[in-house]
């Protein structure tokens, strides 16, 4: 039931939202720490042919998670995590009552997760995800008060595991690439396991001896806070000089040519090459003193990335003009990023007509 509710919540968050640009593009690292709350686990003491079923109860304890990941540029991230979860046993609850039990349990292992950052138009990015992996479970000695003592003799078992994730990231404007994170994970181990133990004074049969201690499937609620840092984040472009006036519109006699580009590309299509050749030819026959080459993008991607992409598009067109015989000294290159949209749109929209370079003969 808990798994179905978690999946339904994640689906409700993700379905109404289209893919937008995310705050992380490229490789990143993360480190988190917090608390782990383990759900009660079905367990059984078995010795001398007698079994005592019940539930193991745990106290909240601590957890740490480190990861490396890669942002794919469309809202999705792939992440490989290593976790360490320490829990403390509190008591064993069976039909006859509760027995105080002491001991510790450590879980650790790798998880491979796929996550999706949700753009909500705020300086915070919710995200959801999930993944699979493997967890090792290591135990220390256990003892029961008032009923002798129990010592586990096997230390480590393993299990296939999966997790569900929901969190928030808060980009730190003063440090490009750095984000604060707050996260919840539901971790589920799918396999049961057991340890051998020695009985000292009567658990559960009243005679000394040895037996097995079986644990059912385990699950944890993990609440963490931490840091995430995107590597190789490009520096933001310098601010435009405040004293510079806006670029005036071209005069009525100016002739304009439009060259369009595929999404996130700056290479020239065959049709683009034809248009540039026409502009170059007209510049030879007309009284042209300056050829203005201005690059633009749509609103998908970050403003910083779009500024650089518009410049690469403008330089690509200018280079082809030189190949077609236009003197480089007559060409002026401008880059406007996602500003001056040909077709007005909201943020995060892939509009083909906005992915362009304008050639203006003056």
pLDDT in tens, 71-84: 998 889 999 999 99
The C-alpha atoms of residue 117 and residue 124 are separated, in whole angstroms, by 10
Each domain of the chain, given as residue ranges in start order, spans 2-230, 255-361
My answer on whether omega of the bond before 204 falls inside 30° of 0, hence cis, is: yes
pLDDT of residue 147: 45
Output the CA–CA distances (angstroms, integers) from residue 27 to 24, 80, 234, 338, in the order listed.
Answer: 8, 11, 13, 25
Residue 326's nearest CA partner among 278, 280, 279, 258 is 280
Q: What ranges in the chain are assigned the alpha helix state H?
A: 2-14, 270-285, 303-323
The C-alpha atoms of residue 135 and residue 84 are separated, in whole angstroms, by 9
* Stretch 27-39: mean pLDDT: 96
Q: How sure is the predictor about 31, in pLDDT bands with cuts at 50, 70 and 90?
A: very high
* Stretch 305-311: mean pLDDT: 91
Place of tokens 């027995």: 99
pLDDT of residue 23: 66
Q: Mean pLDDT highest for which of 155-169, 205-219, 237-251?
A: 155-169
Model confidence, pTM: 0.56
Say which residue, 211 or 218, is predicted with more confidence. Answer: 218
Say which residue, 207 or 210, is predicted with more confidence. Answer: 210
Q: How sure is the predictor about 179, in pLDDT bands with cuts at 50, 70 and 90?
A: very high
| Fold annotation for 2-230 | Porin (2.40.160)
* Stretch 67-95: mean pLDDT: 90
Q: How sure is the predictor about 115, in pLDDT bands with cuts at 50, 70 and 90?
A: very high
Is the pLDDT at 27 greater than 90? The verdict is yes
Is the pLDDT at 150 greater than 70? The verdict is no
| Strand positions, DSSP E, the chain | 25-38, 41-47, 50-72, 76-94, 97-102, 104-117, 125-139, 143-144, 149-152, 156-171, 178-189, 193-200, 209-215, 219-230, 255-260, 291-295, 331-335, 356-361
Q: pLDDT tens for residues 292-307?
A: 899 999 999 899 999 9
Least confident range from 62-66, 192-196, 271-275, 295-299: namely 192-196
* Stretch 187-191: mean pLDDT: 95
pLDDT of residue 149: 54
Say which residue, 152 or 105, is predicted with more confidence. Answer: 105
Is the pLDDT at 263 greater than 60? The verdict is yes
Residue 305: which residues within 8 A CB-CB, separation 6 or more? 25, 234
| pLDDT mean across residues, the chain | 82
pLDDT of residue 280: 85
Residue 317: which residues within 8 A CB-CB, separation 6 or more? 259, 268, 272, 276, 293, 295, 357, 359
* Stretch 121-138: mean pLDDT: 93
Looking at the structure, give the CATH architecture of the domain made up of residues 255-361: 2-Layer Sandwich (3.30)
């Amino acid at each position: 039931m808990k798994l179905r509710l978690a999946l339904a919540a994640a689906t409700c968050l993700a379905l109404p939202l289209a893919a937008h640009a995310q705050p992380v593009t490229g490789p990143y690292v993360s480190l988190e720490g917090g608390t782990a709350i383990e759900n009660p686990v079905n367990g059984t003491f078995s010795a001398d042919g007698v079994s005592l079923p019940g539930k193991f109860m745990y106290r909240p304890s601590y957890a740490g998670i480190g990861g490396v990941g890669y942002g794919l540029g469309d809202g999705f991230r792939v992440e490989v995590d290593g976790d360490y979860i320490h829990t403390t046993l509190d008591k064993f609850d069976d039909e006859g009552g509760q027995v105080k039990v002491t001991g510790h349990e450590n879980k650790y292992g790798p998880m491979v997760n796929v996550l999706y950052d949700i753009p909500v138009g705020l300086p915070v990015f919710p995200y959801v995800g999930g993944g699979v992996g493997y967890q090792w479970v290591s135990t220390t000695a256990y003892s029961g008060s008032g009923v002798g003592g129990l010592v586990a003799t096997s230390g480590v078992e393993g299990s296939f595991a999966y997790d569900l994730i929901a969190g928030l990231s808060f980009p730190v404007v003063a440090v490009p690439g750095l984000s604060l994170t707050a996260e919840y994970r539901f971790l589920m181990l799918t396999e049961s396991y057991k340890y051998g133990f020695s009985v000292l004074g009567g658990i559960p049969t009243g005679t000394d001896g040895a037996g097995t201690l079986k644990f059912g499937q385990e699950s944890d609620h993990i609440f963490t806070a931490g840091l995430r840092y995107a590597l190789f984040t490009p520096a933001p472009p310098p601010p435009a000089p405040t004293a510079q006036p806006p670029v005036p519109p071209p005069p009525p006699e100016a002739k304009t040519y439009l060259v369009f580009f595929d999404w996130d590309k700056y290479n020239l299509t065959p049709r683009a090459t034809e248009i540039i050749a026409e502009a170059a030819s007209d510049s030879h026959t007309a009284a042209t003193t300056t050829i203005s080459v201005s690059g633009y993008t749509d609103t998908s991607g970050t403003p910083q990335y779009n500024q650089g992409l518009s410049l690469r598009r403008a330089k690509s067109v200018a280079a082809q003009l030189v190949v077609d015989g236009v003197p480089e000294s007559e060409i002026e290159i401008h880059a406007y990023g996602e500003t001056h949209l040909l077709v007005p749109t909201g943020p995060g929209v892939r509009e083909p007509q906005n992915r362009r370079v304008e050639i203006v003969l003056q």
